[in-house]
Structure 1
């Protein structure tokens, strides 16, 4: 008897009605209830492994890789365990499970161009995974996977197919019959177990390293699964028979020579896409029809009042629905990136995807920026799993609004060159490319056009590399360009070329040639650099000298030498068995000090590293009686004074960073930092209102409070990358894009205020910084600021000096009058000049500048009437003196009092009966104005010709005032002239003008 489930039938009928419009084909007879929401499905997976099978939960790592320079984004669940597989780290736990945030928008794992056009590719997705690091292997992994799918998720075994590795003769790899037999013993039918080659069933991390066979579980979406065997459709790209889980058996290692050998330790690495799993369990043929995406579509519909999303992959609604899918997918990816601390300014892929969404918002939905509406919805969907989405939501929205405004301003200010207009008119599809960030595109396209003239169908690896390295096009744009031109790109070849380029770029020491290291020198013992104590009486951090021996010596060319007498230059680099010196790293300059042999001191000026070997640069005098040789016993002593200043400045940098974040509560990221013994510099980007003087004052006062009152103790915690992942209770500052080591990562904390990953040297207590002030705060871009700071005695001196100048200026202001204005202004000029180079407090300097302007304004106001009278008297005197002359050339002895006198007024007071040149010299700048009565103008004499004779001695230009006749009136542009040479130049200029006038007037 056949029993009909009416819930299923109703579901089928609803979907068939929709499909009568050609919207989609029903693939699954599952139906969605509250019991199979994405949250429940995710929880069932984690509970199965963590509660039922005693795995440890390890939270998802950030999508910003911090220990892997080979990745732009975390793109697989195994990324955070990579160094366990490579043998660089021991696992914290033997078996773990999690859901990992993954992004694939570049390189070999690039799903960006496909997103929206099919039902299951995404830029962001969750990878459900479980791992074993030597605890269990094939049998247990397969059994657990099968039990989860069939017992927990209730997926019928008849729907499932499994694959295994069927061997490879070329690599001497036998078929994985063990895996095949495990599936048979579990109860999988023989005709549902299929063998495949290395392409489908052998996993490799890279060209060398850990690898091994894998087994995949595929799922049949069609209703005919019970009656029809579809083994022949597995792995041929059918959208109705898809891979759902991959279980990798990491049991091999590929050597550099290409040979594959067995590993002594065996690992399990699995990955299952949550989105695909949810789609199947919710009875959907498309990932986009699940509760992971539908609320985003509903939000877009509500905000824009556009036609609803219908799920179309063809027909009239395809274009609109594709825009829905792209916007929803990219909203998830952008939300995750921004919540993890990635900034669009730092990652151009993220910025371009964000701008693509803004363009789609405007073009397809008639809305300025839908991201500010969709991303809060993403936080509601995923926020319980990834709490940072809620925690960083306000910051995320601030960044989105800023990026929209910035993008809009770029578009408004973008003026396409003639060449760009021509190529876009010739190929309008280029308008689809975001060219705002590619200033080299025009030249790149012209070069590309020459390349494709020979009927090329593929952009070669070499050409792709040229477009990237020469013109700045990234591989995403190159692929899009190829698509527009109906070409392909040799991606694998391009990746190989990029890898070769990376290998060519050797590390350099001290900006010179890389040193060819002796293989016997493995590393320099360098942990002594953190051993120092604070001497309260000296206000100094003190270190002990270290006895060691010389292991190697190199000249300035990087060639190894046996003794200092063999060096062809005075510069030598020395490697010792151990070193207490801090080498240049983490933004902090290196220590300096002495290398001592037989009481003879060799000054160590610079300390650098190459891999784990420390190089000490010294200048050796060839006339010295003391010669350094390999094997010599030497003593090494740090310059404690310089080390102390670096320590204080570095800790102050951390405090500034933390205080600004605490006070401003804006999206902030650190762009760079520099710590020297003289000062500290930290450049921060802050998305929000412009930084004001009040902000700077509040920040400086807060830093003062930490140093003077709070006495925060330093804490150092040493962790590896795995342990860092589990620091869920700490808000640890990491610089986005910075590559940190896998082990011995130092978390430097000061109370509950600051916690940063840092390899630098630091105070034990914030009171040891002693004092602080900003010496400079500069805007370095649209949102960036460079803070320069001083600590300890240097800060105190800068504050005291600032107060002294302020007191002097207050006295000058108090006693300023017309009787002594020349003396007052002379002192003001002196102080203004000193302020340029003096190291004083930034806030004090601003106060000084305000006082200087106040003094000048005071004198100006007092003298305005007097100046007018003096000018009138001087001009009448000049007129009388030149009564018998045909022309007047006069240098205005205006002094500082007459600084703002208009030359136009001076020439007017002379009258309009005679040609006149009036010049003035104020603040080291010469200006002049010339007037010639119309009746005296002729072919060889006018204002422009005459003034040019005067101006040429100062190499200045002559122009008429706007709207006036250059033959009647002209002025000479102001030109800076040093006081010591001014008078001689003036005399020559006057003589030239006089001579010209005598001959032509």
Structure 2
């Protein structure tokens, strides 16, 4: 609808034909593979999603509205197309308490008057029946028509339930509002209608097929694929029945070839950014399914494909789904407990509870609103806005300072805690984690008592709701920032107030006290009993990086010798940083990664034990840094039990360090490691940045993809026998784009250096070709009769000598000096000299 936005907004150019539009019908080519509407990952898995489809549109600009639109739609489907009415279900907008939008009862009554049965007329909320294209712009409630492919039943429960047998075929949007930049809604100057019906789904209905791919829009293409593929013919299977994913591959290739063909015909080519990047991804996805699953020969689709991007995305989705399902269960319990507490007393849900669900468990506020709407409740929106505003202000303060604003206890406060005989925090529970029956790490919550509250640079007995403070507990399972490892995050809940979560934003040590930085979601008082919950995903990610850091340190010593020294490190959830004396060549980077990968593959045990400082001196190969260690100290050893370390003759070289951090139980749980950066910080000191697990795999695949791009570009340049200026310019531009991608994309550092070398060579080659071709073009322009060039050096010498001076240079560029009384005379002499040379050649 983008082309019609000016009409919706009443802002069309009065000189354009567009201002005369009242009713419009059209057919639009649509690609849904990015942004808000993205069907890429659904393509192939079912029988009705596409990256490219044809949208049939009906439009009214201030002319007819709801009654006429619904009536025309129903007549077209049931009378003209003769679709059985009993197979059609209609949804309408149920309203939204958060936005203050009422239910679209007008549309409901229109459908009832047309003859749609009440049990086929279904209300849905903002997600399904309020249409918005982006963050701002024209929008409004919509009513959708769904078709049941099976029939002979009541399929109301399957509407909007992602059932392949009950699918939406037509959406009627009533453009009533404009979403402003502040997210408010304002009425449009006139109301309009924007309807869209997918041709592919409509054809499947009219041809009596349950699958879009069984219609004549696709069957010829599927037959063509089968003729060139080394696999069974297409059978239309999905899910577990689709053994080997052969039928899924058919659908992916058929859909993607259509998308590629239409986009390229319209001038959109696979590239490195925007729509071009989306198309490039579609092409590579098609190549993978074509070559690996269907075993079609090379050339069936252009190019080669790296490891398929959709698998990575699927893994990310599954991981996030699993994480949120756990949060969803916990959040549901919080909501239910709160509702029980409020039963019969209030219809407004407490804002602090909703905000804590949003802040700490990742619940979108609109999802909370929908869940509450189902219970007949609403959120205190004003209080939510105030909490959001305060949170945004805090974020801006943090960003402007460039670091986290931590509540560091000052000397006077520490002295007061000690004088009051407040015991130091017992934080040994940070090491108490185990493996559950599914071999996943379990981080048990712990119960604690609030010993002290620090707010406004003073100890206080109570902190009001919404305040930022430091909380000292008698015990904790949170890891405070130390030993180069980031602090834990998470939350705690207060006994007697189980439905309110206090987010723990930072944790640090001060004089033996662990200070938890908290924004209070309710009143917090000294002596309160609380239950602490660590952010398990963040903690586990830090454990992975910390164990990987030890292995990296060991591998560096193995390849650079025992003299290499650690000069600093930092372990965070997303990456690890390691500073060391020396530097690494491209070959050494590869060898170190290989050594680390071998240790990971061995899946060696990680042993941790407390040992007296006096005894650890006897451990051979022990790595330490310049800091004061406690006594006893924790020893972390990879593959070798601590007791065996003291028998030097029998111990193989391994990673052994003194460390207070948290670690994995086995090295195999790291998954993989890739060094994505290695550069010299100051003379003699280099810094490594590395990623692990899925991030490492993605870096490798990104490196392979870029390597193929560079290799392809080198081959194309080598194949050019008679270069022209335009094509060489394009090649040079591609080299520049690839150079930026190689410089900025997280890929293995050794590979980055190799690709940078190749690209620099390509840049030199293209620049040389361009200079030669440009010189040739200049000679053609200024020497049309084909005479041999004018030496610049000879010309400059002659002119400058005439002027009493001297000159020098090459055959193409020269300069000189002379005494010029009259510039026009000097120019005439230069022209005469050139003409004489030309005549002499003739």
TM-score, normalised with respect to structure 2: 0.41
TM-score, normalised with respect to structure 1: 0.35
